[in-house]
Structure 1
Amino acid sequence: MSDLALIMALPNESKDLFEQAGIQVHYSGIGKVNAAFKAFEVIQKTGCKTLLNLGSAGSSYFDAHALVEVMTFVQRDMDVSPLGFAVGVTPMDHDHPADIHLETYFQHLPNGICGTGDSFEIGLPKVPCHLVDMEGYALAKVCKKLDVRLISVKYITDGANDSAHLDWEENLLLGAQKMLALYQHHFV
């Protein structure tokens, strides 16, 4: 895909394997604000029609080391419930629903709902979801607003529990290897 741009949150997630293979990666940094800014910048600079997001996620639903394609993104940390809004709903944002659905690309991967939030989740999110990350919803929203397709695949590094911070770091290299193999098989 010549109109494809690859975005990941951190160089930790690629372990320099993509760069060693000659694949350009755009890194957003951690969190929704950084992800939204970088996604907008990448789309404007490259003119891509598809933004591919590869990265890590926690999950108590999927097994560790699985690759999961995100079919829907939700905000797990948007909580304006004291004003009568459902958790996950951004008030007065009539142009975009709280759930951002993606067209799936990979037939062989399991699909899941990813809850994005500006916190490292180690418990049950307030919004129902199968996996958690810190950037995906922002990427999805920018892509929807700019009419760019988003494909998002997450490597499950941890169980989103008390040991998540240890498991995340320990499992990043295997995740980078699996994501690189997926990329090379389908996009090179």
Structure 2
Amino acid sequence: MMLLKPFPHISLADTLFVFALEAEAGSVFADVNTLFTGIGKVNAAIALTKAIHQQRPKLIVNLGSAGSQRYGKGDVVCCTRFIQRDMDVTPLGFARYQTPLSDIAPLLEHGQALAGLPLGTCGSGDSFEVNHGEAPYDIVDMEAYVLALIAHREAIPFVCLKYISDDAGSDAADDWSVQVHLAAEAFKRVLFPGES
């Protein structure tokens, strides 16, 4: 595999490819530095923090499946904005999505845009969301926010690509179980074009 085009100075050996599940990577990413965090923000935070302190990667690339009512199944979307969609302390007077008593803005902007890919705002939460209608995000997953936050705090460049596996609607669970296995090939076409 060749170096990622936007980061010609960072070797693949110094790049950490982060997935929630092995199914999202398939065999495509067997020869690069991968991390499988498990599902959810807590698992992702623990796994990435540990990996950073053991390996000190120079680039973190989060690849995974996600739902969206804006983008179609099979699309690959680059996320550069993130919201913690299940943070809600409004009864105490805080804005929705705001982490109380912290310097973290409700909308976290961190990540490199990749040419040719649509940009999305990812809402991460510890639930399988099936309706995000008028929310300030157009993609839903369960890990990206915390991965972006850790990369930001550690001053590590970050790329987040989401393969749209479902429409975050009533059939989302069935769609996801079929589509998730197609994600790796879609990521390969985007990141390593021309490689067989």
1:45 Cα deviation (Å)? 1.4
| Structure 2 match to 1:54 | 63
For 1:83, the equivalent position in structure 2 comes to 92
The aligned counterpart of 1:180 is 188
The corresponding residue for 1:128 is 136
Give the aligned partner of residue 155 of structure 2.
147
1:16 aligns with 2:13: no
Report the CA distance between 1:64 and its aligned residue. 1.1
Aligned to 2:106: 98
Q: Tell me the residue number matched to 2:175.
A: 167
Q: Do 1:87 and 1:127's aligned partners in 2 also have CA atoms closer than 8 Å? A: no
- Superposition TM-score, scaled by structure 1 size: 0.92
Residue deviations 1:124-149 (CA, integer Å, cap 9, x gap): 26841010000000101111111111
Deviation of the 1:152 alpha carbon? 0.2
Residue 4 in structure 1 maps to residue 4 in structure 2: no
Q: Is the 8 A contact 2:67 2:168 kept in 1?
A: yes
Q: CA RMSD of the aligned region, Å?
A: 1.6
> Do the aligned partners of 1:87 and 1:126 also contact (CA within 8 Å) in 2?
no
Does 1:107 find its partner at 2:115?
yes
Equivalent AA in structure 2 for residue 140 of structure 1: A
- 1:76·1:125 contact (CA, 8 Å) conserved in 2? no
Give the 3 Å change call, closer, same or farther, for CA 129–34 of structure 1 in structure 2. Answer: same
Distance in 2 separating the partners of 1:40 and 1:157? 27
Number of residue-to-residue matches in the alignment:
183
Structure 2 vs 1, CA of residues 23 and 49 (structure 1 numbering), >3 Å: closer, same or farther?
Answer: closer
Q: Could you tell me whether the CA contact under 8 Å between 2:113 and 2:119 is conserved in 1?
A: no
Partner of 1:25: 34
Cα distance in structure 1, aligned partners of 2:25 and 2:133: 26
TM-score (norm 2): 0.88
- Tell me how far apart the structure 2 counterparts of residues 97 and 161 of structure 1 sit (CA, whole Å): 28
Give the distance between the partners of 2:144 and 2:75, measured in 1 at CA. Answer: 17
- The structure richer in helix per residue is 1
Give me the whole-angstrom Cα distance separating, in 1, the residues matched to 2:111 and 2:184. Answer: 23
Partner residue of 1:117?
125
**4+ long deviations beyond 4 Å:** none
Q: Secondary structure at the match of 1:70?
A: strand
Instruction: Classify the secondary structure of the residue corresponding to 1:90.
Output: coil
Identity in percent: 36
- Aligned-residue offset at 1:68: 0.1
- Deviations 1:78-100, CA, capped at 9 Å, x for gaps: 00010111111100012x21211
Per-residue deviation, 1:105: 3.3
CA contact under 8 A between 2:41 and 2:146: conserved in structure 1?
Answer: yes
Name structure 2 gaps, 5 residues minimum. Answer: 1-9
Equivalence for 1:38: 47
* Residues in 2 aligned to 1:125 and 1:33: alpha-carbon distance in whole angstroms: 26
